[in-house]
Amino acid sequence: MRIPGLRALLFLIFTLILLSSHAQDMPLLLRNVTTISVIDGTIRSNQSVLIEAGKIKAIGNHVSLSNAGKKAIEINGAGKFLIPGLWDMHVHLEGADLVEDNQALLPLFLTYGITTVRDCASDLGEQVLRWRSEIKQGKLIGPTIYTAGLKLEGKNSIWKGDLEIENETELSQMLDRLDGYKVDFVKITENTLKGDLFLKSVKAAHARGYRVSGHVPIDLTIRELVAAGFTSIEHASYLMRLGYDQEGITADLLSGKISRSEAEARYAGPFDQAKAIEGYKFLAGAGTFVCPTLIGGRQLAYLDETDHRADVSLQYLTQKYVANYQWRVDRMANETPEQRRQRKERYQFLLHQMPYIQNAGVTIIAGSDAAALNTYVYPAESLIAELELFAEAGLTPLQILQAATINGARYFGLASTTAGLEAGKDADLVLLDKNPLQGVDALRTVQAVIARGRYFSRGDLDRIREQVKKTKLALDRRK
């Protein structure tokens, strides 16, 4: 039920921030900042950055830039560090009954320095497409959205609102529908979609020029998917199959020699690290992206040891949104101590693989998998938590920055126009109090954000958070 006055409240949030932030059509000059290159880690102090019409116009000497053109609003960035805006490359804005709940959270991403998100499809796909457009037009405050809209699946899948197919004719029809939506990429999952049609879906989407992402069906190999045009593997847990005889297991499964449960049991046997590294190098050579999404596994693995009742993020999420977390809590309630121990071991093993994946040359894109259905994987906050796990795994600060900025742009072929500190690139930027090359904790010291050229001070960001809290309370009063 839509509550009276909610649209007015959301409009008020936009208006207050719009009025308190600097006008988008007036040049902005950041002076005395220290710039951080996410390409090679180069640090340059005492830089000035001129921003105009949503773009970085020039970077250089303050005196020359301040006299370069029409009058600009100047912001003193002394002692601050400037990086490109962060990209969360795996979120789900989902829940047909959570439209207002999700919309209210869109500005929250900016307060964490997240200026771009990749929405990996949900039952809210058509609504997300509208939000994508409204944010571009400046009608909504939030991160730039790239979206798959609705994902491809088999008949009677567990997922709501997907595009279900059981033959190539239906596949073509659904791809036509995605063409009409003008989606940014295609997402495919394997709940009920059989491997042969899954593979044909990858090939067909790739043939239409789409980037194709998704899960890895147990009746296909990763090499088959990559050869068919798979752009990215979502969830690094699928990569663990590379440490086994994946071709042999798949062949035995398809021939009927083993069942699905027996195939899964084989993937739980002794792990061949050298074979896995060979597989990682294959992915690197093929240019395949990997989005690890570690934080969800971490939250579930340590659910029995963690009291989430005081989590800060809960003050932004409606009761209706958080209620969706309970299904996994209930499902895990009867796990034995041995099952809990095994869950922790699996998570730690995956974490241990991260340096191998990175060192093999795989392009890692940072994504949280934040969604109403993913228990305690909070919108916005969970990306920073994910990056902290990257650090725990042993990735360097520069590698972590790259995974959360330029690699996302590379995924979409946009590295020449965004996610960097060069003249001509999009002005999606974050000003930090601490040097992110000295530790990932610096990403929790956001002083200001520039999104599509609009400057949000720390005060603006704090006001956004307060308004999100108020909206949450208003939504909680729904009948």
Mean pLDDT value across residues 274-290: 98
What lies within 8 Å, CB to CB, of 379 at 6+ separation is 91, 105, 108, 109, 313, 316, 317, 368, 370
* Residue-level pLDDT at 213: 98
The residues spanned by each domain of the chain are 22-84+419-456
pLDDT, tens digit (0-9, with 9 covering 90-100), for 447-462: 999 999 999 999 999 9
Task: Let me know: does 243 contact 275? Beta carbons within 8 Å.
Answer: yes
Overall average pLDDT of the 22-51 stretch: 91
Q: Is the pLDDT of residue 442 over 70?
A: yes
pLDDT recorded at residue 478: 83
Nearest-CA neighbor of 187 among 125, 137, 111, 143?
A: 125
Provide the whole-model pTM. Answer: 0.96
Distance CA 458, CA 395 (A): 29
| pLDDT, tens digit, 9 for 90 and up, residues 364-393 | 999 999 999 999 999 999 999 999 999 999
Q: Answer whether residue 59 shows pLDDT above 50.
A: yes
> Between 61 and 228, whose confidence is greater?
228
Percent of all residues in the chain with a pLDDT value above 90, rounded to a whole number = 91
Of the candidates 376, 370, 367, which has an alpha carbon nearest to the alpha carbon of residue 322? Answer: 376
Taking only the tens place, the pLDDT of each residue in 130-176 is: 999 999 999 999 999 999 999 999 999 999 999 999 999 999 999 99
**pLDDT digit string, tens, across residues 169-217:** 999 999 999 999 999 999 999 999 999 999 999 999 999 999 999 999 9
Domain 22-84+419-456: which topology?
Answer: Urease, subunit C; domain 1 (2.30.40)
Mean pLDDT for the chain overall: 94
Q: Residue 118, Cβ neighbours under 10 Å: how many?
A: 26
